[in-house]
Amino acid sequence: MAADSEPESEVFEITDFTTASEWERFISKIEEVLNDWKLIGISSGKPLEKGVYTTGAWEEKSDEISFADFKFSVTHHYLVQEPSDRDGKEEPAEDALPLPMQDLLCMNNDFPPRAHCLVRWYGLREFVVIAPAANNDAVLSESKCNLLLSSVSIALGNTGCQVPLFVQIHQKWRRMYVGECQGPGVRTDFEMVHLRKVPNQYTHLSGLLDIFKSKIGCPLTPLPPVSMAIRLTYVLQDWQQYFWPQQPPDIDALVGGEVGGLEFGKLPFGACEDPISELHLATTWPHLTEGIIVDNDVYSDLDPIQAPQWSVRIRKADNPQCLLGDFLNEFFKLCRRKESTDEILGRSAFEEDGKEVADITHALSKLTEPAPVPIHKLSVTNMVHSAKKKIRKHRGVDESPLNNEVLNTILLFLFPDAAEKLADGVESGTSPSTGNNPPENEDYNLFSQFKSAPSDSLTYKLALCLCMINFYHGGVKGVAHLWQEFVLEMRYRWENNYLIPGLANGPPDLRCCLLHQKLQMLNCCIERKKARDEGKRGSVSDRSPGGSSGDAGKGADHSGDNSKETDKEKEVGKSWESWSDSEEEFFECLSDTEDLKGNGQENGKKGGAKEGSKEPVNLKPEGRLHPHGKLTLLHPGEPLYIPITQEPAPMTEDLLEEQSEVLAKLGTSAEGAHLRARMQSACLLSDMESFKAANPGCCLEDFVRWYSPRDYIEEEVVDEKGNVVIKGELSARMKIPSNMWVEAWETAKPVPARRQKRLFDDTREAEKVLHYLAVQKPADLARHLLSCIIHAAVLKVKEEEVLEDISSVKKIIKQIISHSSKVLRFPNPEDKKLEEIIAQIMSVEAIIARARSLKAKFGVEKCENEEEKEDLQRFVNCLLEQPEVSVLGAGRGPAGSVIHKLFVNAQRLTESSDEVSAMPPLDEELRRSGSSDERRLNTGAVSDFPPPTGREVILRTTVPRPAPYSKPLPQRMYSVLTKEDFRLAGAFSADTTFF
């Protein structure tokens, strides 16, 4: 024994009871959090106003604590109140109950439509929840629940916090909470029951009263009266078909090509399905006392028609299918496609027959071969058309993405001038009114914010057509097909001098999208080419390329002045021809720098020779537009003539960017700066040459007086004889040695505009534009036109909103315009931002569709009484914007009677379809039977309302607990019964001093 006891005597263990356990640390952490959030001490505040839980702002704070290695999140939920109320300078009465206990009895905020579940169940304005941090973690065992509850109780006792503290137990989806609230000498326990199956005795009021009373266990007899608030919720799901006003599009007709021209100019709008899935009617009895009403398993006085309060909420369909949204999404998907037009339409047709390949590849060589036939018959257009016919022959007409009827309809919509026969190159109606007098309104000018295109332009119409085709007529293949036809039409118009309709006159509008600018550039080229070709035919003897008709008229003076000229003047036609068709000068695509260098040297050599040999010829004025009227030449004293000049070259934004890059690359050296100045002064040099030709014997001062009057300074001086005379001289910047103006003037030769090298080579620019259009993939095209589609969608939404007049929608539309203008102004916007814009437009469409659906269901338009109509309209607007809307007059008001009809109709439909067909119309029946009792008798066993989907009951009383001499304290129990579950949430207070 001694041997055995020796080792025991050597073991010496000390248990240190001063070391904190994990549980104590956990309690300490809870206390720290409560201290940090300043939830210690007496909570004060004014009584809650009616509806403040819905209209007020709720906020929350979160922190994280752990019990050993198990993490919990602590969240403080509270209704934001005025600081003066929260500080509570006035001292509360000594025996006043804590604020949460007062809230338990407050009846102003029963059944809030949108709030935390604990707010709905207990009516609290402030509480703290401790829950497992991870979603999949749960406190399941009873011992752990009790441990947490004990921790909460100790923390509340230590800190003196009067805010209720809850612990979430079981799985999160069950929303099970237990908690506690402590005050001076009082404590409230929050308990909960959650069942899937409901015991029969608890499905009615009398059974719930029995539970409540037994739980209170009040020793007093008789028991103080129990106040009750009851809400029954009825759900309407079976809408009748005629209540849905949206007519879905006839897709078969659209696919079949039976589409009018107007159809392509409009975007569709509205939901394809009812955007309102359910209507929830809540009938409420807010203040009932026990004994007033009977509700047991045999009989119930709770008739919804008799309920003093009705409120309605709607359940919106999740992501209803809307036409405009679908159009936008499908078009946006095009932006992500990678295929080229050739890949989509198939190029294998070219490779099937060697002869055909030869025909196509030798198209350009055939153009250059001498041939007895007129050259236009072997144009590139004709070669492409023949190639297209061969593609169709191989592909087959049936395989063509767009059938001819649809294609022709679209082309006539895009090019209305094609319907009229064009004779002698003269078009009617091709100059759009938008070019001259654009309507100055906010909606029209929206294109400049979105960088899209005017709403009456060809580009805008093209975008709408492509959107329609993408959705209804073959998707990306249809888009590729139409684009191919569009590009061929552009080339045809260029070659045959037909202006493109639907584009504003003048240079490209940099406020528009790049594709619109390119089409405007092509129109400029066609206009210049057309004017030049007319000049060749002799219809215009002398005018600047691209000059307006007014210029041509004024140029008649010049032809009169020069009528004496013989051989030289007869060469005008030849000059125009050489000016436009000289291969050496105009079709060699030199770079800008080489071009200018060559031009300078050529002018130097050729100009010198001409000056020597043809001086007398140069002295004759050429290229005059009209006399200035006021100015005369300084030295000869002859009238100063304004010359016919070349217009500056129009530029699209990509060309401007390219030009700025070239200028920037020249660097900062003297040579680079000089070359940059030369490049930028090409237009100035051209105008100087025209001026010299129109005004022989002129000097730089004459030119400056006309071209830049500010640079010619005139002042009054007294001459030798004492007379006041006006003396003029060039400005200081013009006197700088070797400045650009002096250098250009010395270089300039007297050459009229018609014989100068073109500043704007329309042939080259047109080919560049046509090439640019031809290589665009459907995805590139969609990117270019997406701004137009968003623009069109916004206009459509605005147009539809005007009919409904919904204030919330107006605000969202303003936000969409603001957001879109920021995103679309820059090239290549991010996909995510574009998706946000489309989502905003879809949300507006859904709201408007809901408004129309509700208007139809509530018969707003059919209502004859103006006052009732306004009430219904207001009610519908509130339903869209608020989570829950009270019905004025409950079941007897205008909205209430409509809702009643809807429910009665749904009940009759569910009874039997055969019976429905035999029944008289509903309106007649409701007119015949006035009261609900009469209706019940008339309709037999069929009730006006279905069984309630949800039953909510709040029971309250104030009784002493646990002993008869304890302080009377608030007791509350909330019950909710639905088809799927049953929940009891009780708050039972007890006196901790006198028990």
DSSP codes joined into one string, 712-733 = EEEEEEE-TTS-EEEEEEE-GG
**Local structure of 943: helix, strand or coil:** coil
Alpha helices in 289-340 (DSSP H): 323-334
* Most trustworthy range by pLDDT among 85-99, 219-233, 391-405, 541-555: 219-233
Q: What is the pLDDT at residue 10?
A: 62
Structure letter (DSSP) for residue 948:
P
Task: Please give the radius of gyration of the chain, using alpha carbons only, rounded to the nearest integer.
Answer: 44
Q: What is the pLDDT at residue 557?
A: 36
pLDDT tens readout for residues 474-489: 778 888 888 888 898 8
Q: Is the pLDDT of residue 394 over 50?
A: no
pLDDT tens readout for residues 938-988: 444 457 888 899 999 999 999 988 888 888 999 999 999 998 889 999 999
Residues 269 and 794: beta-carbon distance below 8 Å: no
- The residues facing 284 across adjacent strands are 231, 309
- The residues facing 178 across adjacent strands are 167
Span 581-594, mean pLDDT?
37
| Residue showing tokens 């007529």 | 473
Ordered DSSP codes for 200-218: GGGSSHHHHHHHHHHHHT-
Closest alpha carbon to 147 in 294, 28, 27: 27
Span 753-781, mean pLDDT?
83
Calpha distance 639→912 (Å, rounded): 100
pLDDT tens readout for residues 849-906: 888 888 888 877 777 777 778 888 888 888 888 888 888 888 888 888 888 888 888 8
Span 769-773, mean pLDDT?
89
Span 275-282, mean pLDDT?
87
Q: What is the pLDDT at residue 356?
A: 42
Calpha distance 519→650 (Å, rounded): 12
* Most trustworthy range by pLDDT among 182-191, 702-711, 904-913: 182-191
Q: Is the pLDDT of residue 434 over 50?
A: no
Backbone angles phi, psi at 76, to 5 degrees: -105, 115
pLDDT tier, 440 (very low <50, low <70, confident <90, very high otherwise): low
Calpha distance 183→442 (Å, rounded): 63
| Residue showing tokens 């057309």 | 530
Q: 57: which 2 tokens?
A: 């702002």
- HSE value, Cβ hemisphere, 13 Å, CA-based, for 327: 29
Calpha distance 400→915 (Å, rounded): 53
Q: Which of 13 and 595 is assigned the larger pLDDT?
A: 13
Closest alpha carbon to 350 in 385, 383, 391, 398: 391
Q: Which of 60-64, 200-204, 667-671 has the lowest mean pLDDT?
A: 667-671
What is the distance of C-alpha 308 from the center of its chain?
Answer: 43
Closest alpha carbon to 942 in 914, 915, 978: 915
| Residue showing tokens 């995103």 | 823
Q: Is the pLDDT of residue 802 over 90?
A: no
Contacts of 925 (CB under 8 A, 6+ apart): 919, 938
Q: Which of 524 and 396 is assigned the larger pLDDT?
A: 524
Calpha distance 973→982 (Å, rounded): 13
For the chain, give percent helix, strand, coil, nearest 5.
50, 15, 35
Calpha distance 30→147 (Å, rounded): 14
- Altogether, the residues listed in the chain come to a count of 995
Residues 64 and 137: beta-carbon distance below 8 Å: no
Span 55-70, mean pLDDT?
89
Percentage of residues in the chain having pLDDT higher than 90? 13
Three-state helix/strand/coil letters over 122-165? HCCCEEEEEEECCCCCCCCCHHHHHHHHHHHHHHHHHHCCCCCE
Structure letter (DSSP) for residue 639:
E
Q: Is the pLDDT of residue 77 over 90?
A: yes
Contacts of 188 (CB under 8 A, 6+ apart): 100, 101, 104, 164, 180, 181, 182, 969, 970, 987, 988, 989, 990
- HSE value, Cβ hemisphere, 13 Å, CA-based, for 645: 17
Closest alpha carbon to 588 in 718, 757, 778: 757
CB atoms within 10 A of CB 38: 9
Calpha distance 509→516 (Å, rounded): 8
Q: 624: which 2 tokens?
A: 């005059």
Structure letter (DSSP) for residue 423:
B
776 conformational bin, left if phi > 0, alpha if psi -120 to 50, beta if neither: beta
CB atoms within 10 A of CB 575: 16
| Residue showing tokens 């392509």 | 264
Q: Which of 561 and 99 is assigned the larger pLDDT?
A: 99
Whether the pTM exceeds 0.75: the reply is no
- HSE value, Cβ hemisphere, 13 Å, CA-based, for 345: 26
Q: Is the pLDDT of residue 391 over 90?
A: no
Distances (CA, A) of 555 to 552, 559, 702: 5, 7, 21
Percentage of residues in the chain having pLDDT higher than 70? 72
Q: What is the pLDDT at residue 92?
A: 53
State the amino acid at position 825 in one-letter form: R
Calpha distance 582→576 (Å, rounded): 10
Distances (CA, A) of 288 to 101, 267, 955: 21, 55, 10
Which contacts (CB < 8 Å, 24+ apart) does range 965-969 have? 965/994, 966/990, 966/991, 966/994, 966/995, 967/185, 967/186, 967/991, 967/993, 967/994, 968/224, 969/97, 969/101, 969/186, 969/188
Calpha distance 834→831 (Å, rounded): 5
Q: Is the pLDDT of residue 525 over 70?
A: yes
Calpha distance 410→406 (Å, rounded): 6
State the amino acid at position 720 in one-letter form: E
Calpha distance 851→871 (Å, rounded): 15
pLDDT tens readout for residues 87-123: 444 555 556 788 898 889 988 888 988 889 999 999 9
Backbone angles phi, psi at 525, to 5 degrees: -65, -45
Q: What is the pLDDT at residue 233?
A: 93
Backbone angles phi, psi at 430, to 5 degrees: -85, -20
- The residues facing 78 across adjacent strands are 59, 126
pLDDT tens readout for residues 636-683: 777 888 888 777 778 787 777 777 777 676 666 666 666 666 666 777
Calpha distance 10→5 (Å, rounded): 9
Q: 180: which 2 tokens?
A: 């506690």
Spell out a b/e string for 99-119, using b for 16 or more CB atoms within 10 Å of the CB, else e. Answer: bbbbbbbbeebbbbbebbebb
Task: Please give the sequence-ordered ranges of beta strands (E in DSSP) within 609-732, or none if there are none.
Answer: 624-632, 639-643, 712-718, 724-730
Q: Is the pLDDT of residue 755 over 60?
A: yes
Closest alpha carbon to 119 in 79, 148, 86: 79
Structure letter (DSSP) for residue 864:
-
Q: What is the pLDDT at residue 471?
A: 81
Residues 535 and 576: beta-carbon distance below 8 Å: yes
